[in-house]
Amino acid sequence: MTDLQAEPTTARTDDTPSLTPEQLTAAVHAITDRARTASRILGRANRARKDRVLLAIADALVARRDLVLAANRADVERGRAAGTSDYLLDRLSLDPERIGRLADALAQLAALPDPVGTAVRAETLPNGLRMRQVRVPLGVVAAIYEARPNVTVDIAGLALKSGNAVILRGGSAAAATNAALVGIIRDTLEDHGLPDDAVLTIDEFGREGARVLMEARGRVDVLIPRGGRELIQSVVTNARVPVIETGEGNVHILLDESADEEMAVDILLNAKTQRPSVCNTVETLLVHSRSGAAPAVLAALSRAGVTLHVDDRSRAFLPEGTAAPSATDDDWNREYMQLDLAVRTVDSVDEALQHIRRWSTGHSEAIITNSLASSEEFVAGVDSAAVLVNASTRFVDGGELGLGAEVGISTQKMHARGPMGLAELTTTKWIVQGEGHVRR
């Protein structure tokens, strides 16, 4: 039993008594050193060993779900008392079904090929040198994220499978839940002969601990922030360690003039209402001025409780008597994360692309169309991490796209872009073999 396997209600939060700056830095650096040591052992573990541990963690989550649910109830009750919105409470909340899905995701990870050791390229050069570029773990991965306990399990699972140690900072709102989850994962690692320090947390050190982690260049190989704009920008601005930036989801859907009405209604309802609080939810609907499906789509969204923020031209598509606030630049720039949707009318695919280029965060964009020409123009013109044709943006998710889970959705143009799975948590090593070769 690890020292993190405490009673849920005793998990420490940002109210933890403060340490001196020197003590805090030493404490966080000690954790990074433990993670580095663990990463060297885990990086050499074979696939069978890692997969056994992932499946054992999945079983342990289900077997000890009462512990996790008790911890989660404490977090949710504390959040409700503090006035946290229903949408954020939904992201925080776990139930037996959601825990079951977390376990299923770990089983899916175990079934995926191990990226470590995979050759990216291999050839024998004209001079006889044999060259291979192979995937290797990044080493020590840190993640700073908001109150989403599922992220704790997803990131830990992906890190373990790809041979990395991980340091987690999950936020005070989910402190009890994360402590329970991390404790279960660490116990299982220890039981199976792998270092429990492969999964560590700095939650007990609060925001100041996160600051030290962000500045731990040379001790942390990569830092991944996952959350809202404020959190991500804080990490990007203040971190001294390499950062893979995940972005907020100001997601667009273009309703083309040829779109099928029934398909359009189904896709928009799913993209907006299935789970409004997540980053792959649509936030702006661009309607072609000659769309025959627009009235039915807007009526269906309105009936589903979505508040439509419309420009002047889009009002013509609204059902008579529908109240809708006027859209402003603030709406085009918003990630609502609730049942609100900005609506703008455009005259062409090109005009829609211009709007997206100005306001998009580079996460995901979609088009609903029956025109091959329109779909090709849209796909070629969108410069975002994911582009969808006739499908809900809710599919931009690591689990849905066959990655088992995701660390986050990268919106930058580095080696990782879009949903980040196992391969994105590796780098490469060049191996060159000769027979006494010297360069002349």
- What CATH code is carried by the domain that includes residue 426? 3.40.605.10
Position 15 pLDDT exceeds 80: no
Residue 432 phi/psi, 5-degree rounding, is: -120, 125
pLDDT band at 3 (very low <50, low <70, confident <90, very high): very low
CATH of the domain at 334: 3.40.309.10
Ranges 8-22, 155-169, 173-187: which has the least confidence? 8-22
202/295 same-domain check: no
113/144 same-domain check: yes
Ranges 113-117, 144-148, 310-314: which has the least confidence? 144-148
- Is residue 435 included in any domain, yes or no? no
Answer yes or no: are the C-beta atoms of 194 and 48 closer than 8 Å.
no
| Residue 132 pLDDT | 97
Q: Pick the closest to residue 260 from 135, 403, 371 (CA basis).
A: 371
Rounded distance between C-alpha atoms, residue 246 and residue 363, angstroms: 9
pLDDT tens string 26-67: 999 999 999 999 999 999 999 999 999 999 999 999 999 999
pLDDT tens string 247-296: 778 999 999 999 999 999 999 999 999 989 888 999 999 999 999 999 99
To which residue do tokens 């896709």 refer? 267
- Is residue 133 included in any domain, yes or no? yes
Q: Which of 4-18, 129-143, 245-259 has the highest mean pLDDT?
A: 129-143
Rounded distance between C-alpha atoms, residue 287 and residue 254, angstroms: 6
Mean pLDDT of 154-158: 94
- Is residue 436 included in any domain, yes or no? no
Answer yes or no: are the C-beta atoms of 23 and 201 closer than 8 Å.
no
69/83 same-domain check: yes
pLDDT band at 16 (very low <50, low <70, confident <90, very high): low
pLDDT band at 5 (very low <50, low <70, confident <90, very high): very low
283/138 same-domain check: no
| Residue 260 pLDDT | 96
| Residue 4 pLDDT | 30
Rounded distance between C-alpha atoms, residue 50 and residue 187, angstroms: 15
| Residue 418 pLDDT | 83
235/383 same-domain check: no
Rounded distance between C-alpha atoms, residue 258 and residue 223, angstroms: 44
116/226 same-domain check: yes
Position 7 pLDDT exceeds 50: no
| Residue 12 pLDDT | 42
Answer yes or no: are the C-beta atoms of 93 and 72 closer than 8 Å.
yes
The mean of the pLDDT values for the chain is 91
Crossing angle (nearest 10°) for helices 206-214 and 229-238: 50
- Is residue 89 included in any domain, yes or no? yes
The boundaries of the domain holding residue 389 are 251-401
- Is residue 182 included in any domain, yes or no? yes
374/346 same-domain check: yes
- Is residue 394 included in any domain, yes or no? yes
Write the CB contacts of 378 (distance below 8 Å, at least 6 apart in sequence): 254, 349, 352, 353, 365, 367, 369, 387, 389
Position 10 pLDDT exceeds 50: no
pLDDT tens string 360-419: 989 999 999 999 999 999 999 999 999 999 999 999 988 788 777 777 788 877 778 888
- In total, how many domains does the chain have? 2
- Is residue 128 included in any domain, yes or no? yes
pLDDT band at 227 (very low <50, low <70, confident <90, very high): confident
- Is residue 302 included in any domain, yes or no? yes
Dihedral over Cα of 408, 409, 411, 415: its sign: positive
| Residue 417 pLDDT | 82
Mean pLDDT of 299-315: 96
270/129 same-domain check: no
pLDDT band at 23 (very low <50, low <70, confident <90, very high): very high
296/383 same-domain check: yes
Rounded distance between C-alpha atoms, residue 360 and residue 374, angstroms: 19
231/196 same-domain check: yes
Q: Pick the closest to residue 245 from 74, 103, 418, 126 (CA basis).
A: 418
206/288 same-domain check: no
Share of the chain above pLDDT 90, in %: 77
Ranges 4-8, 58-62, 70-74, 105-109: which has the least confidence? 4-8
Answer yes or no: are the C-beta atoms of 245 and 412 closer than 8 Å.
yes
The pTM score is: 0.81
22/150 same-domain check: yes
